[in-house]
């Protein structure tokens, strides 16, 4: 006979979300269209050696090249049955953010329940706190946002979706683990339903970071983030190991090491039932950044560059499982993540290993440009990431500019009730187990 605990454990496993991060443009700056997103989402769902990669994390709600049109990833996700972790870009100022809200409400009105039922959650901003930190500024990052600004934007997002099909959808913020470890950002933690953590042991170059240390470095980052989260769920929104590119510290970028990272870090996360968006499916599109994190090359293929199976992986050392959550219709995230890291490393934490590109390429415009330093660092740490968090940019740093500003009035919108695919799967698993008692 199954116990209630085992039933709940089964539900947690079934409802865990797996996906990749997707930018809004190609490395050439050309905007992705619906057909491009469809091709990416379909490839992710059919990767050889693995399964379950059916979610897409977005950095912006705005279609590249427009001021406030909804991103074409939405109809692509509806068509391919891909769930979405929505992203609202939050470092462009109030006018820019109002356009993100405008695009969000327009999407609800245009696509209705077909859209709202596939939403896993909403992220307000991405690594804004890191870019706003003294270390981020000293490293040459583009302007981020104050904690009070992100907290205000979270409230504005909740107000915007009130009375729509997305009401009650869990809203959080994505940032580097060092940003969460910084107590001055507590206002954002308090405003969030969930916490999104970006962590890349590859970039932690002020301490031993050869590939064999990846799991312990990741677990320390997770433990510190969980501690800062105060019981709120921690979603792993970015992590990965490059398949090619420069050596950072002792970490060598190669397909072999990417496979080792997958076995030692990613497989335990999957086994734990945590929500995970890996970085990334493809970043060489068409140009190859340095480093490159894509598990497929510059041609979309269901045959990855390395083995993605977890049958021979080390699956016993991740504390991420307590971070997995389900979302009921009309309710916010409820489960906590009180577990601490099971493995830690000593000494300085060094470079935080934040997003390889730091900004979505969809924010590029011709009016204004700045160099992005993609990874957060702690005092005394050196080195930066490279490439692009969304598939644009190359060399030592990605570059981007603020999104086009346009004054607009946010329309009213309507929608049906929210019901995530994750919740349905979890509920079905519980009912099957109950009838088996």
Burial tier of 408 (Cβ tally within 10 Å: 0-12, 13-18, 19+): middle
Could you give the angle at the alpha carbon of 400 between the alpha carbons of 397 and 404, nearest 5°? 175
Question: Residue 400 has which token pair?
Answer: 């981007």
3-state secondary structure 360-424: CHHHCCCCCCEECCCCCCCCCCCCCCCCCCCCCCCCCCCEECCCCCCCCCCCCCCCCCCCCHHHH
- Other beta carbons less than 10 A from residue 286's beta carbon: 12
Q: What is the dihedral of CA 26, 32, 37, 39, to 10 degrees?
A: -70
Are the C-beta atoms of residues 388 and 394 closer than 8 Å to each other? yes
Could you give the angle at the alpha carbon of 183 between the alpha carbons of 91 and 261, nearest 5°? 75
Question: Residue 412 catalytic?
Answer: no
How far apart, in whole angstroms, are the C-alpha atoms of residue 174 and residue 58?
11
Question: Residue 410 has which token pair?
Answer: 């946010």
Q: Which of 38, 100, 238, 259 is catalytic?
A: 238
Strand partners, 57: 21, 85
Question: Residue 214 has which token pair?
Answer: 């990846």
Residue 45, C-beta contacts closer than 8 angstroms, at least 6 positions apart: 53, 54, 80, 82
Are the C-beta atoms of residues 252 and 301 closer than 8 Å to each other? no
Q: Which of 38, 40, 100, 127 is catalytic?
A: 127
Handedness of CA 425, 427, 430, 433 (dihedral sign): negative
Question: Residue 220 catalytic?
Answer: no
User: Terminal CA-to-CA distance of the chain, rounded, Å?
Assistant: 6
Number of H helices, E strands in the chain: 13, 10
Angstrom distances, CA of residue 322 to CA of 34, 223, 318, 341, 369: 35, 11, 10, 11, 40
Residue 428, C-beta contacts closer than 8 angstroms, at least 6 positions apart: 14
Q: Identify each DSSP E strand in 102-218 by its residue range.
A: 119-126, 171-176, 194-198
Question: Residue 170 has which token pair?
Answer: 């869990």
Q: What is the dihedral of CA 217, 176, 56, 100, to 10 degrees?
A: 180
Active-site positions read: 127, 238
């Amino acid at each position: 006979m199954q116990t209630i605990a085992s039933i709940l454990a089964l539900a947690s496993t079934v409802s865990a979300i797996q996906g990749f991060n997707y930018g809004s443009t190609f490395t050439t700056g050309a905007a992705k269209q619906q057909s491009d997103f469809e091709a990416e989402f379909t490839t992710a769902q059919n990767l050889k050696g693995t399964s379950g990669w059916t979610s897409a994390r977005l950095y912006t709600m705005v279609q590249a090249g427009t001021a406030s049109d909804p991103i074409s990833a939405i109809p692509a996700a509806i068509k391919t049955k891909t769930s979405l972790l929505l992203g609202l870009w939050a470092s462009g100022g109030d006018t820019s953010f109002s356009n993100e809200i405008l695009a969000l409400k327009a999407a609800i009105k245009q696509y209705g329940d077909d859209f709202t039922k596939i939403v896993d959650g909403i992220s307000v901003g991405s690594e804004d706190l890191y870019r706003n930190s003294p270390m981020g500024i000293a490293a040459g990052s583009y302007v981020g946002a104050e904690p009070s600004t992100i907290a205000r934007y979270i409230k504005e997002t909740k107000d915007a979706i009130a009375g729509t099909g997305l009401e009650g959808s869990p809203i959080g913020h994505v940032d580097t683990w060092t940003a969460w470890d910084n107590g001055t950002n507590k206002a954002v933690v308090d405003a969030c339903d969930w916490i999104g953590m970006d962590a890349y042991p590859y970039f932690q170059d002020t301490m031993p970071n050869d590939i064999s240390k990846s799991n312990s470095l990741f677990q320390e980052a997770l433990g510190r983030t969980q501690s800062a989260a105060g019981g709120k769920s921690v979603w792993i929104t970015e992590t990965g190991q490059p398949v090619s590119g420069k050596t950072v510290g002792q970490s060598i970028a190669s397909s072999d090491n990417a496979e080792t990272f997958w076995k030692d870090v990613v497989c335990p996360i999957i086994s734990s039932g945590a929500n995970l968006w890996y970085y990334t499916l493809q970043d060489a599109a068409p140009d190859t950044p340095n480093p490159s994190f894509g598990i497929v090359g510059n041609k979309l293929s269901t045959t990855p560059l390395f083995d993605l199976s977890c049958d021979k992986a080390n699956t016993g050392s991740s504390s991420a499982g307590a971070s997995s959550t389900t979302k009921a219709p009309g309710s916010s995230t409820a489960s906590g993540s009180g577990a601490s890291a099971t493995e830690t490393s000593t000494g300085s934490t060094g470079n935080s290993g934040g997003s390889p590109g730091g900004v979505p390429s969809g924010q590029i415009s011709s009016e204004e440009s700045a160099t992005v330093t993609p990874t957060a660092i702690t005092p005394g740490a050196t080195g930066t990431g490279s490439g692009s968090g969304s598939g644009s940019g190359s060399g030592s740093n990605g570059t981007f500019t603020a999104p086009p500003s346009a004054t607009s009035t946010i329309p009213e919108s309507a929608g049906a009730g929210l019901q995530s695919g994750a919740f349905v799967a979890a509920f079905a698993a519980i009912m099957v187990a109950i009838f088996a008692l």
